[in-house]
């Protein structure tokens, strides 16, 4: 605790809170990881995200403001699997050796995750495919939250070992709350087990698998590649034949196109919370998953 904080505490007769200056300064690349870091760190951490939930994380633009945040960071929590590889440019500009790749203050969450859709042949990035190492959108699968929060805990405890016990307690309490919710979510989506949906960008595969739903296809030709008329015609035909009613679309994608595809197939487009903060009401991790579960159940009914 700094001297000024100590004086303020004494003067005001306050309990001994973690003052801003004493908190572990964490920066995450995306809001989902910010929410999960807050769940583990509680009031011992000060967490900032480099992107907002309404953004396409693949295409985030590196700004000087990102470098400023990173300059003071003690820990950088990165998603990895090339969702947020732009962060390396920002880290170079931040001139903070703690958070460079391989540094004590750097975590790549994807390392602990069994990634889906890992390409079996070489993916040609020059053609725009943005998932060259497999699908990087695992953060909103509540079943993976235990792994993700463990990775975050390990990183936090490395830079602030004195708080390890508190981090462990916070994590356990959060996972208990999440577990209790998961039972309800599974029940809500149980009647729709095996239902097929179309997704604009394949960022929901972990979530769909968790709840027994099936991704029939994507509006994009391949991840990050705009659809050709031929691809769309095939997709709509397939949707009609299989009576697919729902096209999931991220707030940042072409909602008009999603609506057109859905309507031509006799269904509707549904905007999902592709991240914490992506839509109104998706304010924290549990609220975001709750939003998606309820929206999907309503659309599939
Ligand atoms: Zn993606």
Give 80-132 as a 3 state SS string. CCCCCCCHHHHHHHHCCHHHCCCCCCEEEHHHHCCCECCCCCCCCHHHCCCCE
Instruction: Tell me, in angstroms, the distance from the centre of ligand 1 to residue 84's CA.
Output: 10
Output the CA 83–ligand 1 centroid distance in Å.
7
- The CA 126 to ligand 1 mean position distance, Å, reads 16
Burial 97-118 (b: 16+ CB within 10 A, else e): eebbeeeebbbbbbeebebbbe
What was the pLDDT predicted at 232? Answer: 97
Long-range CB contacts (within 8 A, 24+) of 13-21:
17/43, 18/43, 18/44, 20/46
Q: Give residue 128's pLDDT.
A: 74
Mark out the alpha helices in the chain (DSSP H runs).
Answer: 3-12, 31-41, 64-71, 87-94, 145-159, 164-189, 205-210, 229-241, 255-264, 285-300
The pLDDT value given to residue 48: 98
- Is residue 107's pLDDT more than 70? yes
Q: For residue range 65-85, what is the model confidence (pLDDT) as tens digits?
A: 999 999 999 999 999 999 999
CA of 123 to the centre of ligand 1 (A): 14
CA of 283 from ligand 1 middle (Å) equals 21
Q: According to the model, what pLDDT value does residue 1 have?
A: 47
Shortest CA distance to 293 belongs to which of 182, 203, 138, 205? 182
CA 134 to centroid of ligand 1, rounded, Å: 9
pTM higher than 0.75 for the full model?
A: yes
Ligand 1 center–CA 231 separation, angstroms:
19
Pick 77 or 126 by higher pLDDT: 77
Q: Which two structure tokens, joined as six digits, stand for 134? A: 């497999």
């Amino acid at each position: 605790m700094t001297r000024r904080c100590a004086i303020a505490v004494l003067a005001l007769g306050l309990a001994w809170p973690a003052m801003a200056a004493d908190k572990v300064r964490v920066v995450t690349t995306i809001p989902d990881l910010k929410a999960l870091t807050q769940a583990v760190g509680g009031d011992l951490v000060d967490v900032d995200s480099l992107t907002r939930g309404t953004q396409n994380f693949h295409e985030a633009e590196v700004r000087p403001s990102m470098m400023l945040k990173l300059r003071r960071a003690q820990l950088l929590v990165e998603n990895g699997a090339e969702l947020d590889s732009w962060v390396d440019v920002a880290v170079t500009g931040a001139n903070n050796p703690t958070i460079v790749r391989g540094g004590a203050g750097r975590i790549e969450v994807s390392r602990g995750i069994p990634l889906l859709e890992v390409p079996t042949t070489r993916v040609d990035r020059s053609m725009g495919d943005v998932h060259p190492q497999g699908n990087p959108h695992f953060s909103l699968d509540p079943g993976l939250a235990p792994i993700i929060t463990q990775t975050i805990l390990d990183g936090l405890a490395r830079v602030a070992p004195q708080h390890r016990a508190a981090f462990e307690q916070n994590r356990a309490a959060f996972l208990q709350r999440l577990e209790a919710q998961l039972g309800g979510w599974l029940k809500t989506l149980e009647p729709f087990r095996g239902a097929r949906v179309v997704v604009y960008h394949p960022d929901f595969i972990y979530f769909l698998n968790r709840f027994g739903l099936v991704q029939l296809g994507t509006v994009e030709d391949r991840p990050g590649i705009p659809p050709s008329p031929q691809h769309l015609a095939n997709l709509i035909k397939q949707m009609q034949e299989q009576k697919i009613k729902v096209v999931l679309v991220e707030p940042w994608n072409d909602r008009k196109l999603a609506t057109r595809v859905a309507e031509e197939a006799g269904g509707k487009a549904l905007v999902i919370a592709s991240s914490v903060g992506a839509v109104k009401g998706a304010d924290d991790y549990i609220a975001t998953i709750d939003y998606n579960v309820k929206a999907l159940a309503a659309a599939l009914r």
